[in-house]
Every structure is written in C-alpha cells, then in structure tokens.
C-alpha cells in the first residue's frame, strides 16, 4: 500500500480543505489555475517557487495561497515542498534558464523535472497529479522530436505510483502568452505570409483560462484519476486560418500564399526571426501541426465547452491598443532572475547516455569509477577510496582538481549522487549549496542522464567556457563509449 492510499481524501470542507500544489504557478496557465483555486472554498493552494527569497517573504501569504521554496531539479527539496499535498499540478518546463551556463537539451532537462516531480509526489503521499501535455496524434509520431518528447514526458510522469490525470492541449492563447505574441508579430512584420503544408492541418486552439478550468474540474475527482483527456477551444481551424483571423483583428492587409511541401526548417527560422519565438517554441509549433489533431469528445471537454472562449476573443484580449501583443507580465521577474543567475555563476550540464540492457545506475556508477583513473592519462590521476570518495589530481603535483563524495543517503539503485566537495576548480562553498554529479535512469532503463548541477567554477567565467566546460562534454562522450565497451566485454565473458 502506497503512502497516498493510506491517507484518506479530505472532504473539501473548511475543516478539511483539499491541498493543491502548483508547479509553474506564475506562468500563463498557472496564474489562472491559482486564481480559480483561490476562489473555490474547497481548496487550499500551495504555490511552488524556485526563489527562496520569495517563499520566505510576506508575499508568500498573499490571498489564500501559501508559497513554498521548490527547486524541481532537486528531488529532496521537491519532496519537502509536496509534504501534506493532496493534488499536485504540473505546469513547469525547462525552456527558461536555470543557471548561468546550461549544457543540455531542454528535453532532457524536462525529463529530470518530471521524474523528480513524480517520485517526490509518491514519497510525499500525493493522491493525484494533474499534468498538462500536448495533443498527440494517433499512430506513428516518428520524425517529430517534440511529440516524441511529450510521449517520453507522459511515460515518465506515470512511472510512479501516483495516479496521473493528463490534459492534452494544442496551442494555448492568453494575454502575455508566447503564442499570441508570435501570431501578432508574424502578421505585423510580414506583408507576405508563406504557408507550407503544415499550416493546413486542422486543430483547436484553446484559451489559457479554459485549460485552467479543466485543471480545477479534474482536481480531486476520483472519476478522472489515471485518465487522459484532450482539450480544445470552440473553433476548429488551421494555422493559416489563425494568421488570417489575426490579420483581420489587427486590420492588416496581408497576402497569403500556400506552398507545396512542409518547409519545416525554414518555418522554424521564420517563427524565430519574425515571430520572436524561442527555438524551442518554434519547433513545438511546427512539429505539433505536422499532423491533424482535433480533440475527441470527452467528459472534461463537456465541462469547459459551454463557456469556452472563442479564438478571436482570445486574440483581442491579448492585443494592446497600439496593435502590439500584450507584454509578458513575468518579464520584470525574469530580468531579476537572470541577474541572480549571473551573480551565482552556476553550471548545469546534462547529457543522455545509452544504458545497456539489464544495467542500472549503480552499474554506471561502478563503471564511472573504473573509467576515471583512465581518463586524462598520463596527465590526470584519480584516487578512489573504498567509500567511493574521489580525488582527481594532476600527476606529479600535489594539487586536487576536483573532489567527489558519494552520498548513500540520497542515492537509490536508479539514481546515484556524488557531491562535489572540494578541489581548486570549484569555488569555496559559502551558502551550504554543494554541486553534485547525478547518474539517473530514465525511460524504463533505456537511458541514463549524467547531470552536473549547481556547480560553481573557480575559473574566470570566459576561461571556464572555453576550457573546462568543453572538456566536460568531451569526457562524457568518452564515458558513453566506455560504457558500451564495458557491456560488450561483459557479454563476451558471459558467453565464453
């Protein structure tokens, strides 16, 4: 019996409110979810924030929401943040910077966040996870990196014992949101709109407030546990029709020219250059429209559809009087966060390695201990103690470059943790935060993510970027090759 099964559901009365935690509560959808939950007397709201200062300020008790510090890259901190929570709503993503230097694909960073959230929810006894995902067409999604990533994310979220209610949506619009902004920018900046084949696939864009209404509708409702529902607005249209309606709303005369073929790379470039969309967002828009995806009728759609916001209403609410898109209300906060990240000067580096069949993170950690003394020979040596305490030194000089200490209390068979506890290449620890090396299994033991988190280099920043940062990427590539050779050798010994 899991922790969530042992703890009964609260009845939603003032004496037993349902506690809902929101990861990503300051984003477009999260703001609406938070507002709706605060207005519902059944719920007590916990807002998860990665800012310790904000969690400890007077702002932490505004309205009916309580703010808690939560770094989703840390499993331990996420477990503490979800203590006493009944429903955990996941709206977070890794497209925004979380460190001064990030060496990683955002899809791998997302998997770490999702994996931590799911495991922390299970440990904390959470009764339900509500996960916002993307519309995924039936059948083969091969060739669409974005859709394959969303499937991986859903599989990871559902890999633990907590029932997950998945809400899939296509383009989500709202004031200050990135979707409305790039639609408006494209129409304002391009008199000629070139429309490749992907622009002709029908879909149903949805208002952020309607997604939030769906989140509230499924929260703490047993009938929705473990189910997946597709969401959409009242209007079925193609991306080309969205641009045409945007031109009408903005009173802009535009020429729309259909093109044969998909032109995916050129489309991503245009969305980035003229729509001011991030590369990740541009890829998401193109990939998610490669195939027609229209939500199928379901009980959650039945709940939100009577009051669903039409597309043109969404768009008008997202445009200022001068015809420009509404600014992102979080922009001042993002600027402050960027300044803080620069001041902390931390590094996050995550790479996905192939995990041989039947092997786990413990095996990878063991092979890592075998590989370290060989890496850098003859210039670098690694002294490894019986407790897997590692000192990486320069040969012939009594100087420790890096010191790693295995953390058995934070490690499991599928997740091995080494804290970075010393060495001349790391800045002295002054605030209790230690950098760490993490080896984590993902996706049914098909891969392992190697991650360096909260590492603070001692080198001048520009020099670190040119030297140590590049050396780390090369070392991880060599480690991947070593793991495959080690597995092949084990198979040969077994066969012999």
For the segment 171-221, what is each residue's pLDDT rounded down to a tens digit? 999 998 889 999 999 999 989 998 999 899 899 999 999 999 999 999 999
Rounded to an integer, the average pLDDT of 317-329 is 88
Q: Distance (Å, rounded) from C-alpha 421 to C-alpha 348?
A: 16
Which ranges in the chain are annotated with CATH 3.40.50.720? 3-336
Domain span(s) for CATH 3.30.530.20 in the chain: 345-495
| Contact present, 267 and 204 (Cβ < 8 Å) | no
pLDDT beyond 70 at 5: no
| Chain CA centroid to CA 48, Å | 14
For residue 7, what pLDDT is reported? 64
Q: What mean pLDDT comes out for the span 222-226?
A: 93
pLDDT of residue 314: 94
Q: Which residues are paired to 68 by β-bridges?
A: 48
Across residues 406-418, what is the average pLDDT? 94
CATH 3.40.50.720 fits 3-336, yes or no: yes
The sheet carrying 400-406 orders its strands as 101-103, 347-354, 447-455, 435-442, 415-422, 400-406, 390-394, 380-384
pLDDT reported for residue 1: 43
Section 88-99 average pLDDT = 88
Rounded to an integer, the average pLDDT of 108-136 is 95
> Which residues make Cβ contacts (< 8 Å) with residue 409, sequence separation at least 6?
none
Per-residue pLDDT at 3 exceeds 60: no
Determine the average pLDDT of the residues in 134-161: 85
The pLDDT assigned to 496 comes to 66
The rounded distance, in Å, linking the Cα atoms of 143 and 134 is: 16
Q: Which CATH architecture has domain 345-495?
A: 2-Layer Sandwich (3.30)
- Give the HSE-up count for residue 28: Cα atoms under 13 Å, Cβ half-sphere: 24
pTM above 0.85, yes or no: yes
How far is Cα 202 from Cα 168, in angstroms, rounded to an integer?
16
Do 227 and 249 contact (CB within 8 A), yes or no?
A: no
Rounded average pLDDT over 161-165: 96
Give the torsion sign (CA, 84, 132, 227, 14): positive
């Amino acid at each position: 019996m899991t922790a969530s099964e042992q703890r009964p559901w609260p009845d939603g009365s003032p004496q037993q409110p349902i506690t809902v935690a929101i990861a990503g509560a300051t984003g477009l959808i999260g703001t609406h979810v938070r507002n709706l939950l605060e207005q519902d007397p059944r719920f007590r709201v916990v807002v998860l924030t990665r800012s310790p200062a904000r969690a400890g300020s007077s702002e932490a008790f505004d309205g009916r929401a309580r703010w808690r510090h939560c770094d989703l890259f840390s499993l331990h901190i996420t477990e503490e943040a979800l203590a006493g929570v009944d429903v955990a709503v996941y709206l977070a993503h890794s497209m925004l910077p979380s460190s001064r230097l990030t060496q990683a694909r955002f899809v791998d960073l997302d998997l770490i966040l999702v994996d931590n959230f799911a495991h922390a929810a299970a440990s904390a006894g959470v009764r339900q996870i509500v996960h916002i995902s993307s519309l995924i067409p039936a059948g083969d999604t091969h060739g669409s990196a974005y859709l394959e990533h969303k499937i991986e994310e859903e599989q990871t979220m559902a890999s633990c014992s907590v029932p997950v209610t998945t809400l899939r949506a296509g383009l989500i619009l709202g004031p200050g949101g990135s979707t409305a902004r790039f639609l408006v920018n494209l129409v304002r900046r391009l008199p000629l709109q070139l429309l490749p084949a992907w622009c002709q696939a029908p879909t149903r864009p949805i208002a952020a407030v309607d997604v939030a209404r769906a989140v509230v509708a499924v929260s703490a409702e047993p009938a929705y546990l473990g189910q997946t529902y597709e969401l959409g607005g009242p209007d079925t249209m193609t991306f080309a029709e969205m641009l045409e309606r945007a031109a009408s709303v903005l009173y802009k005369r535009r020429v729309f020219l259909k093109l044969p073929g998909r032109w995916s790379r050129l489309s991503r470039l245009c969305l980035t250059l003229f729509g001011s969309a991030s590369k990740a967002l541009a890829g998401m828009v193109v990939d998610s429209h490669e195939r027609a995806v229209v939500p199928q009728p379901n009980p959650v759609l039945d709940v939100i559809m009577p009051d669903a916001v039409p597309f043109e209403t969404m768009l008008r609410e997202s445009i200022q009087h001068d015809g420009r898109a509404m600014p992102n209300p979080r922009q001042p906060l993002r600027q402050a966060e960027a300044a803080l990240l620069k001041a902390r000067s931390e590094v996050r580096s995550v790479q996905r390695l192939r995990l041989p069949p039947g092997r786990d993170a413990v095996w990878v950690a063991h092979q890592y201990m075998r590989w370290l003394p060989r890496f850098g020979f003859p210039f670098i040596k690694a002294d490894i103690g019986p407790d897997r305490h590692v000192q990486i030194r320069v040969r012939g000089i009594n100087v420790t470059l890096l010191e790693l200490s295995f953390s058995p209390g934070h490690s499991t068979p599928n997740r091995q943790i080494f804290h970075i506890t010393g060495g001349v290449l790391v800045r002295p620890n002054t605030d209790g935060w230690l950098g760490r090396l993490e080896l984590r299994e993902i996706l049914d033991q098909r891969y392992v993510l190697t991650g360096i988190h909260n590492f603070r280099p001692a080198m001048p920043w520009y020099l670190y970027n040119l030297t140590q940062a590049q050396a780390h990427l090369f070392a991880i590539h060599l480690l991947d090759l070593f793991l495959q050779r080690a597995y092949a050798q084990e198979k040969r010994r077994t066969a012999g």
